[in-house]
């Protein structure tokens, strides 16, 4: 019997996610991938998988069973072995908005447009183009890789670093200061397309006449309401709202992991500092560099 992961019960959204579909935005395909890439990497490395292997992105709790062989399983980087036919449970996230469950060998659902992860906005990937349901059966790949013990990966601090956007002339002079001095909260209407933030009004002079341009994950768009939207992994490839700033790559996961109602503050850094921060962040989620405004014991 081929190795499989059987879904016995699901209470809340759970989807297959992986490292995404890079290099396809010119075809209108969002990059997708894990909401918190560092946490996906930590779960996969703990069972000997490549950091980007397909795993489960869990917003709720579920019950599972591995058939066809025994396997190492990781929940949030904590690995344990399950016997063939053994049932086990994954609890709902306790800290952060999601948690990742990886199985030795990875989830071998079919690749679609270069990725295995679910892209909900297009109903493709993830095995069936939808969230998991009881009765789903997911094939497993061949395991045997070297298991690593990653450092604990937890949400830390509310300071998020940004670089300024490409069109400052589309904003009022005080918009940048309002972004840096304000305290924002995560809206419950946030999703994988974008995180909506509630807080100070960010005034702009845009009249809707701007030309739509390419978008990237982390772009902080400001619609007419003045409340920003930070684009997530399933963002549209084009957008017309003015972009005040862009969250740096090293802080994507730290921002996306925050729950509705939690606070967010912003600090501006240079492009060179953003590049250095990315060098400091490894793929098991351990950061070795301090964040401005956040000491080592914060």
How many domains does the chain contain in total?
A: 2
3-state secondary structure of 140: strand
Residues contacting 296, CB < 8 A, separation 6+: 290
Identify the residue with better confidence: 1 or 251. 251
Q: Do residues 193 and 132 both lie within one domain?
A: no
pLDDT over 80 (residue 287): no
Residue-level pLDDT at 289: 52
Are 59 and 179 part of one and the same domain?
A: no
Q: Which of 48, 1, 41 is nearest to 252 (CA)?
A: 41
Q: At 60, is the secondary structure helix, strand, or coil?
A: coil
Question: Under a CB-based contact definition with an 8 Å cutoff, are residues 153 and 71 in contact?
Answer: no
Task: Give the pair of three-digit tokens for residue 204.
Answer: 């702009």
* Beta strands, E only, the chain: 4-11, 14-17, 55-58, 61-67, 71-75, 78-82, 87-90, 99-103, 137-139, 159-164, 184-186, 194-198, 213-214, 219-221, 229-231, 238-239, 243-247, 263-268
Which pLDDT value is given to residue 283? 55
Q: Residue 290's pLDDT band (boundaries 50, 70, 90)?
A: very low
- Same domain (yes/no): 87, 178: no
Contact 159, 292 (CB under 8 A): yes
Asked if 47 and 102 count as a contact pair (C-beta separation under 8 A), the reply is yes
Supply the range of the domain harboring residue 209: 159-280
Look at 287 and 272; give whichever has higher pLDDT.
Answer: 272
Nearest to 71 by CA among 94, 53, 48, 54: 48
Q: Is residue 298 part of a domain?
A: no
Examine residue 98 and state whether it is found in any structural domain, yes or no.
Answer: yes
Does residue 191 share a domain with residue 265? Answer: yes
Last residue of a domain, one of 139, 171, 198: 139
Q: Is residue 296 part of a domain?
A: no
Do 9 and 128 fall into the same domain?
A: yes
Can you give the CATH number for the domain in which 262 is found?
2.40.100.10
Q: Are residues 118 and 166 in the same domain?
A: no
Task: Convert the pLDDT of each residue in 157-208 to its tens digit.
Answer: 789 999 999 888 889 989 999 999 999 999 999 999 999 999 999 988 766 6
Residue 147 lies in a domain: no
The mean predicted confidence, pLDDT, of the chain is 89
Cα–Cα dist 230/197, whole Å: 8
- 284 pLDDT higher than 50: no
- Return the number of other C-beta atoms located less than 10 Å from residue 117's C-beta: 29
Interatomic CA distance for residues 5 and 192, integer angstroms: 25
pTM given for the model: 0.90
DSSP codes, 252-297 = HHHHHTPPTT-EEEEEE--HHHHHHHHHHB-TTS-B-SPBTTB-TT
Q: What is the pLDDT of residue 143?
A: 84
Q: What is the pLDDT of residue 30?
A: 93
Looking at residue 255, its pLDDT comes to 96
pLDDT band for position 288 (cuts 50, 70, 90): very low
Residue range 223-263, pLDDT digits in tens: 988 999 999 999 999 988 999 999 999 999 999 999 999 99
- Res 285: pLDDT: 47
Say which residue, 79 or 296, is predicted with more confidence: 79
Does one domain contain both 130 and 14?
Answer: yes
> What are the tens digits of pLDDT across the range 7-53?
999 999 999 999 999 888 988 899 999 999 999 999 999 999 999 99
């Amino acid at each position: 019997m081929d190795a499989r992961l059987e879904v016995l019960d699901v209470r809340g959204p759970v989807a297959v996610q992986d490292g995404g579909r890079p290099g396809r935005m010119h075809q209108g395909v969002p990059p997708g991938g894990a909401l918190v890439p560092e946490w996906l990497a930590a779960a996969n490395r703990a069972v000997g998988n490549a950091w980007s292997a397909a795993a489960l992105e869990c917003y709720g709790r579920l019950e599972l069973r591995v058939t066809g062989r025994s396997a190492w399983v990781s929940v949030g980087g904590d690995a344990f072995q399950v016997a063939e036919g053994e049932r086990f449970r994954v609890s709902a996230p306790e800290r952060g908005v999601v948690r990742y469950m990886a199985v030795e060998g990875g989830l071998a659902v079919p690749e679609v447009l270069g990725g295995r992860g679910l892209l909900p906005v297009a109903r493709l990937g993830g095995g069936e183009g939808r969230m998991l349901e009881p009765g789903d059966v997911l094939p497993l790949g061949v395991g045997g890789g070297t298991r690593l013990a990653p450092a604990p990966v937890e949400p830390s601090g509310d300071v998020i670093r940004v670089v300024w956007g490409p069109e400052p002339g589309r904003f009022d002079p005080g918009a940048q200061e309002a972004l840096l001095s304000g305290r924002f909260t995560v809206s419950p209407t946030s999703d994988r397309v974008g995180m909506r933030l509630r807080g100070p009004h960010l005034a702009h002079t845009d009249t809707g006449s701007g030309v739509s341009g390419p978008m990237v994950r982390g772009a902080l768009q400001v619609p007419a309401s003045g409340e920003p939207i930070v684009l997530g992994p399933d963002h549209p490839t084009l957008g017309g709202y003015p972009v005040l700033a862009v969250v740096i790559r090293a802080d994507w996961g730290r921002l996306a992991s925050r729950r509705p109602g939690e606070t967010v503050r912003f600090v501006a850094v240079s492009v060179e500092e953003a590049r250095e921060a990315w060098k400091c962040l490894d793929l098991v989620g351990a950061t070795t560099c301090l964040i401005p405004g956040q000491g080592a014991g914060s």
